[in-house]
Each structure stands twice: as C-alpha cells, then as structure tokens.
C-alpha cells in the first residue's frame, strides 16, 4: 500500500518519508536539509512501514535543498504533494511555495507546487539498512 508521511524529527525539522516508487521494504526519506538521523528518527520512519521482513532499507533521496533554516515544512509538503500526484521530487526544483500553499488553503484543495524539472544525476544520496526485531517489528539497535 502506498504511504506518504510528513513528520517532525529531532523536535524541529520536517521531512517526508514514503514507499511510493520504492523497492519492497524500502522507505525513501526526502529531506531538504539532509541532516544526520537519530535512532529515534529512524524508529519513527520504521513505524510507518508495516513489514514482516527482518530488514528494512532507508534511502535518503537527493532533493532540492532549502536556502534558509525555516522552510523545511514547505519543502516537506511540496515533496509529499508531488509524490501523491505521480511526480518524482528528486527531479523537481520548487518555486513560489508559500504563495501556492496559501492558494491551496483558500481553495480547499492541495495541488502540485510550482516546479521546474531539474535533472539530478544521483537521486539517492545514502542507503541505510536496518534489521528489525522479530516480535515487535521495531529496529534492532545492535545492527
């Protein structure tokens, strides 16, 4: 089942996680800052993906970077919206996001954010494989 989650991690940063377009038992993480992830962050991403497998892979995708310290929420929403509309956010460069989001709120409908196609040679920046506990399907913190 396709899933898209916009989540607050590390108490101050918004990212999008999804299995849309991902290999089985893989979660793509779309992060406009690409910071390091704590074990709590990885556990949060894992909790979205219900699997009976013993291993899950997290791929940090190469998306447009924000130019300030406060627009992570806008980027997370733009990325989530693009995924839900069949677009590949690793190939998009968003613009005018604040005005577009306001228009969406006024119209009562979220539509794709304005973007230009921007070819990124490496859509995946980092892949992290983690093993799951067999009983609770939480992450095995020893691996």
pLDDT lower than 50: segments of the chain: 134-137, 143
| Domain limits for position 91 | 4-131
Is there a contact between 64 and 88 (Cβ–Cβ < 8 Å)? no
In a domain, 140, yes or no: no
Q: What's the structural domain count of the chain?
A: 1
pTM of the predicted model, to two decimals? 0.85
Residue 140: the pLDDT is 52
- Bridge partners of 124, per DSSP, are 61
In a domain, 139, yes or no: no
Residue 100: the pLDDT is 97
In a domain, 81, yes or no: yes
- Bridge partners of 131, per DSSP, are 55
Dist. CA 138–CA 92, nearest whole Å: 33
Residue 14: the pLDDT is 95
Dist. CA 107–CA 30, nearest whole Å: 26
Residue 141: the pLDDT is 53
Residue 43: the pLDDT is 83
In a domain, 53, yes or no: yes
Q: 95-120: per-residue pLDDT in tens?
A: 999 999 999 999 999 999 999 998 87
C-alpha distances (whole Å) from 133 to each of 23, 40, 54, 122 are 21, 15, 7, 32
């Amino acid at each position: 089942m396709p899933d898209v989650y916009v989540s607050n991690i590390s108490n101050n940063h918004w990212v999008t996680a999804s299995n849309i377009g991902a290999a089985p038992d893989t979660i793509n993480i779309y992060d406009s800052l690409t910071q390091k992830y704590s074990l709590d962050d990885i556990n949060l991403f894992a909790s979205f993906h219900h699997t009976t497998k013993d291993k899950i892979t997290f791929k940090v995708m190469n998306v447009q970077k924000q130019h300030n310290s406060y627009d992570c929420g806008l980027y997370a929403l733009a990325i989530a919206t693009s995924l839900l509309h069949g677009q590949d956010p690793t190939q998009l460069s968003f613009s005018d996001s604040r005005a577009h989001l306001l228009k969406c709120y006024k119209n009562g409908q979220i539509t794709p954010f304005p973007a230009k196609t921007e070819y990124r040679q490496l859509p995946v920046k980092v892949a992290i494989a983690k093993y799951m506990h067999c009983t609770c399907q939480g992450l095995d913190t020893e691996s």
